[in-house]
């Protein structure tokens, strides 16, 4: 609203508010918070919140710092508000060093996200519910103005504390499950030959909200005489089941390309294997062999988005001359097509899964055009920097609704 004095509005807000930086240092405070804590602005501004309000050393069960710190870090990581259960967090008594006053709070932590997508500040809002909690504990009303509604709210604190305990147990269980899932995914995506290729960059981003596991994969395989093969694939679905199928298909294709070398033959073998593997049908995959001696890329594509060959001047070419249906899409075995594409030293080969270009309610050609435009704009970057710039330009640094695997090869 034009002419609105937002600084004065914040200062006059009746609920207590702090504004914290990413480092959890207090950068602003309103009058209600100062009154609730008995502090002045000079007491708080520029201090880490946990230096200003440490745990009560006389209370061996004090967990206010631990719980608030966990909540604030969840906000930084998720960029979403975090509502805490009723929380005991005693505060030091001003003018009496070592003395603490019992306090109970109902906190909400809300992020303010900057243009770079990172949390810039956190708004820490609290309500002092000490009177309610003490009323419940003693069975007495702390003042004449405590209403029946106040007493009912006080009764809720015990249930809220139990809910907080259960939520913490669920978070810990989810963390353990995620650690197992991540370990499994990392083991299945190991590519020993990749370490020998300094001009190859890979990225793997699971679908947002997943356990960090998915059905997308990438691989790099050395074939001798300087030749090597690269692949990306996409199993239908997300989660541990899709990741398990992915691991089996990836291993099978890695073995097939070592034995057969021709990408089309390797995909034919993989297609036969996929028919016997539950959850593998309609998997898409593209395999390309790079021969530095003849400066030739030989590739075959089973229903996958086409690789892109990027020239140093920013022009791009889609490698779409050997496209066939996904694995298991045909009822009978049919030889898969294969094509060759010459390249020049300094060109860049880009393989990816559809999560990089697909968007909801948008034709895939729009996403493909967006990818080509970004590749042309950053064609001179080295593979690692190109991968980062590409994800940034496409708004995918923090993942998307679908899984993403990306391989960038400087030829």
Using one digit for the tens of pLDDT, what is the confidence trace for 212-222? 567 788 999 99
Instruction: Indicate the helix (H) or strand (E) that contains 72.
Output: helix 64-78
pLDDT of 394: 86
pLDDT of 186: 67
Mean pLDDT of 200-225: 80
Pull the structure tokens for residue 159. 């249930």
* Percent of the chain topping pLDDT 70: 83
Cβ atoms of 193 and 221 within 8 Å: the answer is yes
Among the listed residues 140, 53, 40, the one whose alpha carbon sits nearest the alpha carbon of residue 89: 53
37-51 pLDDT tens trace: 999 999 999 999 999
Cβ atoms of 143 and 131 within 8 Å: the answer is yes
* Percent of the chain topping pLDDT 90: 40
Locate tokens 């207590």: which residue?
A: 16
Indicate the pLDDT class of residue 144, thresholds 50, 70 and 90. Answer: very low
Pull the structure tokens for residue 314. 């920013």
pLDDT of 208: 62
Half-sphere exposure of 310 (CA within 13 A, CB side): 23
Mean pLDDT of 104-126: 89
Separation between Cα atoms, residue 39 and residue 191, nearest integer Å: 57
328-356 pLDDT tens trace: 887 777 789 999 999 999 999 999 998 88
350-408 pLDDT tens trace: 999 988 888 877 888 888 999 999 999 999 999 999 999 998 988 876 666 677 889 99
Cβ atoms of 18 and 26 within 8 Å: the answer is yes
DSSP strand pairing (323-324 vs 296-302)? parallel
Contacts of 321 (CB under 8 A, 6+ apart): 337, 339, 341
145-193 pLDDT tens trace: 445 555 455 555 555 655 666 667 777 766 676 666 666 666 667 788 8
pLDDT of 229: 94
Q: Is the pLDDT of residue 308 over 90?
A: yes
Residue 102: C-alpha distances to residues 131, 140, 224 (Å): 10, 17, 72
pLDDT of 156: 59
Burial environment of residue 219 by CB neighbours within 10 A (0 to 12, 13 to 18, 19 or more): buried
Cβ atoms of 129 and 105 within 8 Å: the answer is yes
Mean pLDDT of 284-310: 95
Separation between Cα atoms, residue 28 and residue 35, nearest integer Å: 14
Read off φ and ψ for residue 375, nearest 5 degrees. -60, -45
Separation between Cα atoms, residue 320 and residue 303, nearest integer Å: 10
| Least confident stretch, 57-71, 74-88, 171-185, 246-260 | 171-185
Mean pLDDT of 18-25: 93
Highest mean pLDDT among 102-116, 195-209, 302-316: 302-316
Stated pTM of the model = 0.61
Instruction: Indicate left, alpha or beta for 346 from its phi (over 0: left) and psi (-120 to 50: alpha).
Output: left
Mean pLDDT of the chain: 84
Among the listed residues 224, 225, 207, the one whose alpha carbon sits nearest the alpha carbon of residue 216: 207
Residue 198: C-alpha distances to residues 39, 193, 233, 286 (Å): 57, 11, 22, 22
Dihedral over alpha carbons 60, 170, 216, 344 (to 10 degrees): -20
Q: Is the pLDDT of residue 143 over 50?
A: no
């Amino acid at each position: 609203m034009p002419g609105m004095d937002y600084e004065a509005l914040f200062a006059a807000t009746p609920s207590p508010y702090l504004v914290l930086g990413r480092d959890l240092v207090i950068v602003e405070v309103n009058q209600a918070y100062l009154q609730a804590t008995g502090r002045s602005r000079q007491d708080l501004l520029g201090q880490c919140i946990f230096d200003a309000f440490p745990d009560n050393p006389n209370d061996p069960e004090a967990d206010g710092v631990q719980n608030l710190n966990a909540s604030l870090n969840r906000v930084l990581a998720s960029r979403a508000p975090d509502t805490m259960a009723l929380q005991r967090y005693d505060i030091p008594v001003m003018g009496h060093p070592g003395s603490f006053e019992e306090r109970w709070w109902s906190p909400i932590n809300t992020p303010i996200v900057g243009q770079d997508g990172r949390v810039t500040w956190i708004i820490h809002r609290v309500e002092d519910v000490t009177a309610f909690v003490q009323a419940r504990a003693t069975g007495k009303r702390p003042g004449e103005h405590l209403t029946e509604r106040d007493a009912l709210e006080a009764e809720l604190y015990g249930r809220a504390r139990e809910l907080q305990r259960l939520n913490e147990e669920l978070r810990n269980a989810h963390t353990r499950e995620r650690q197992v899932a991540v370990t499994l995914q990392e083991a299945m995506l190991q590519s020993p030959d990749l370490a020998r290729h300094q001009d190859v960059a890979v990225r793997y981003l699971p679908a947002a909200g997943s356990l960090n596991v998915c059905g997308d994969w990438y691989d790099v395989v050395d074939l001798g005489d300087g030749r090597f093969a690269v692949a990306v694939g996409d199993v239908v679905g997300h989660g541990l089941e899709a990741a398990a199928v992915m691991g089996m298909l990836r291993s099978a294709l890695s073995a097939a390309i070592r034995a057969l070398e021709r990408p089309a033959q390797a995909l034919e073998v993989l297609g036969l294997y996929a028919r016997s593997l539950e959850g593998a049908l309609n998997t898409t995959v593209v395999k390309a062999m790079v021969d530095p001696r003849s400066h030739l890329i030989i590739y075959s594509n089973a229903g996958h988005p086409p690789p892109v060959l990027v020239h140093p001047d920013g022009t791009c070419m889609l490698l779409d001359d050997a496209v066939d249906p996904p694995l298991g899409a045909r009822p009978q075995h049919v030889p898969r097509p294969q094509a060759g594409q010459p390249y020049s030293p300094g060109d860049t080969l880009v393989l990816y899964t559809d999560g990089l270009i697909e968007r909801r309610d948008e034709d895939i050609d729009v996403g493909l055009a967006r990818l080509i435009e970004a590749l042309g704009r950053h064609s001179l970057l080295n593979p690692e920097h190109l991968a980062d710039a590409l994800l940034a330009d496409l708004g995918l640094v923090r993942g998307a609704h679908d899984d993403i695997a990306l391989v960038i090869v400087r030829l």
